[in-house]
Chain A
Amino acid sequence: MSASEDTFSTLCQLLEPFNTAKIGLKPETDISADLNIDSVSVMDFVMEVEDHFNIDIPLNVLSETRSIADLVKVVEGRLAKV
């Protein structure tokens, strides 16, 4: 499994409590629109991601982050800086 696949898998696990409709998660899944998650819950989910990876993901980044694949790139970018 590649590093990106690992990150995707971890993000899917962290997303599960927010995925109340139990929709199948794919890299292209839109975190807010497809899972019908409101903006506050998206921020709460990102906090879980931050704590898991011990990184900061500024809120400013989220406006450009729609899909799980987008978030994988953000997480890996932040990890590369650590």
Chain B
Amino acid sequence: MTDLFDKHRTISERHERMLSLGANAVGLTNDRILSPTRAIIEGRETVLAGTNNYMGITFDPDCIAAGQEALDLYGTGTTGSRIANGSYAQHRELELELAQFLNRKHCIMFTTGYQANLGMLAGLAGPKDTIYLDADSHSSIYDGCTLSGAKLVRFRHNDASDLDKRLARSEDEGGRLVVVEGIYSMLGDRAPLADFVEVKKKHGFQLLVDEAHSFGVLGPNGRGLADEVGLEDDVDFVVGTFSKSIGAIGGFGAGNHPQFNMLRYASRPYMFTASPSPATVATSLAAIRKLKAEPQRRNRLRVNSTRLFDGFKSLGLALGCDSVSPIVAVNCPDEVSTIAMWNALLKAGVYVNIALPPGTPGKQCLLRCSVSAAHTFEDIDRIVSLFGEVVAQGHYRKAV
């Protein structure tokens, strides 16, 4: 009998090797969360710099009060899907307010951000269609594409001319959907949206932008990359998540297409899962209102991100990209030194993400920081200072 776990042996061996080097990044436990930027880890108070808590909103008193009130009024869960059990009024309220925030006619809420990509992609594209996806797309995009059954063509990361070439040689007969991201989660770089829009005008396709890391963060209205570069009218569909800037869990898809709400009856990841819980919907809605009412959070995030980016540059670290975003990734020379640095930083009191191949673009070994509006300047300076100490310990040489 073949053991079903045999196929995972390589992964298991790799995990064991990481553990032997002292890194248990996957199994790390936050014993207590003290604030958006502090936790107790391994008995130490630790600065959190790898949480994607961009707005620092997870402990906002208004959001917490909204969640508590929803628990009291509506209970702990919805116990079923919206097509089976019906929607709660709050689901509708959130979708309406979010559509207004996004300046889109329609919005659908999903139970997680991962399911938002699954639901949108599998709902929009089918076996006779073709999806063109950026090579560095998040796994939820790859999985949504696979679930759709569409023909999948991968183009080189952020390379509009490569997309142009692939579209030119295609023999597609069905619909064509191109998928890019506002900010890419590993390196923090943005899609060159204007270039992709030019290709769209040339070839004709529908364009979906996953704003998971840019929603709430970029643009004069906090709507994401398309808002930042003034190209919202050229983007057909937007996907986002509530687990980052919104500080909750859930996701959304939005658009202006008159048939958009058909996705509620055509998208299996929407239809066959329990709807978001009342407390989650309430905290998400309260957070959306905060994003609208408190643009200073976005401004503070930008200032903090620039401070960290410049601080790392002054240390001579190789960074994931040249533009400032809340994701600041340090490119390390190899797996062993990355793990050593991650360990040293954690022991010194700062938590960052460790990201290793194959989960990274170009086989890069990364220490990935995500900045929060709730970080103080002292926090940012401490993170830079601790990276400097680790570099001085000889764990790092500039990755070329």
Q: Does A3 contact B (CB under 8 A)?
A: no
Interface centre among B10, B154, B156 (most CB of A within 10 A): B154
Pick from A41, A54, A60: contact of B152, CB under 8 Å: A60
- Decide: B135 and A56 in contact? CB cutoff 8 A: no
Nearest-Cβ distance from residue A24 to partner chain B, whole angstroms: 21
* Total cross-chain contacts (CB, 8 A): 33
Q: Are A59 and B152 in contact (CB under 8 A)?
A: yes
Q: Does B151 contact A (CB under 8 A)?
A: yes
Q: Roughly how many angstroms separate A39 CA and B363 CA in the complex, as a whole number?
A: 12
Select one of A40, A55, A58, A60 contacting B169, CB under 8 A: A55
Cα(A43)–Cα(B155), bound, Å: 10
Q: Is the CB of A38 within 8 A of B169?
A: no
Please name all residues of chain A whose beta carbon is closer than 8 Å to the beta carbon of B135 when the two chains form the complex: 43-44, 47
- Chain B residues in 8 Å Cβ range of A39: 358
Q: How far is the CB of B129 from chain A (nearest CB, A)?
A: 12
Interface size on B, residues (CB 8 A): 17
The reply to whether the CB of A22 lies closer than 8 angstroms to some CB of chain B is: no
Whether the pair B169, A59 counts as a contact (CB closer than 8 A) is: no
- The SS class assigned to the A binding surface is helix
The CA-CA distance from A47 to B154 in the complex, in Å, is 8
Return the chain B residue nearest A54 by Cβ: B169
- List B contacts of A56 (CB < 8 A): 153, 166, 169-170
Interface string of B133-151 (1 = CB under 8 A from A): 0010000000001100001
Interface residues of B in 124-181 (CB under 8 A from A): 130, 135, 145-146, 151-154, 156, 166, 169-171
Residue of B with least CB distance to A46: B154
Cβ of B358 and Cβ of A47 under 8 Å apart? no
Distance, CA A79 to CA B153, complexed state (A):
16
In whole Å, how far is A41's beta carbon from the nearest beta carbon of chain B?
7
Complex Cα spacing A36 to B357, Å: 13
User: How far apart sit A58 and B145, CA to CA, in the bound complex (Å)?
Assistant: 12
Q: Which of A25-67 contact B (CB under 8 A)?
A: 36, 38-41, 43-44, 47, 54-56, 58-60
- Separation of A71 and B80 alpha carbons in the complex (Å): 45
- Known interface pairs A47-B154, A56-B153, A59-B154; A41-B170 also in contact (CB < 8 Å): no
CB atoms of B358 and A41 under 8 A apart:
yes
List residues of B (306-364) whose CB comes within 8 Å of A's CBs.
357-358, 363
Q: Which residues of A contact B154 (CB under 8 A)?
A: 43, 47, 59
Residue of A nearest to B7 (CB): A33
- Closest Cβ–Cβ distance, residue B128 to chain A (whole Å): 13
Given the interface pairs A43-B135, A47-B135, A81-B171, the reply to whether A58 lies near B153 with Cβ below 8 Å is: yes
Contacts of A58 in B (CB 8 A): 130, 151-153
Chain A residues within an 8 Å CB radius of B357: 38, 40
Residues of A within 8 A of B146 (CB): 59
Identify 14 residue pairs between A and B in the complex whose beta-carbon atoms are under 8 Å apart, listed by A's number: A38-B357, A39-B358, A40-B358, A43-B154, A47-B154, A54-B169, A55-B169, A56-B153, A56-B169, A58-B130, A58-B153, A59-B152, A59-B153, A82-B169
Contacts A47-B135, A58-B153, A81-B171 known; list 17 others, CB within 8 Å. A38-B358, A40-B358, A41-B358, A41-B363, A44-B135, A47-B156, A54-B169, A56-B166, A58-B130, A58-B151, A58-B152, A59-B145, A59-B146, A59-B153, A59-B154, A60-B151, A82-B169
Shortest beta-carbon contacts, A-B, top 10: A38-B358, A59-B152, A40-B358, A58-B151, A58-B152, A56-B153, A60-B152, A58-B153, A59-B154, A43-B154
Residues of B within 8 A of A (CB): 10, 130, 135, 145-146, 151-154, 156, 166, 169-171, 357-358, 363
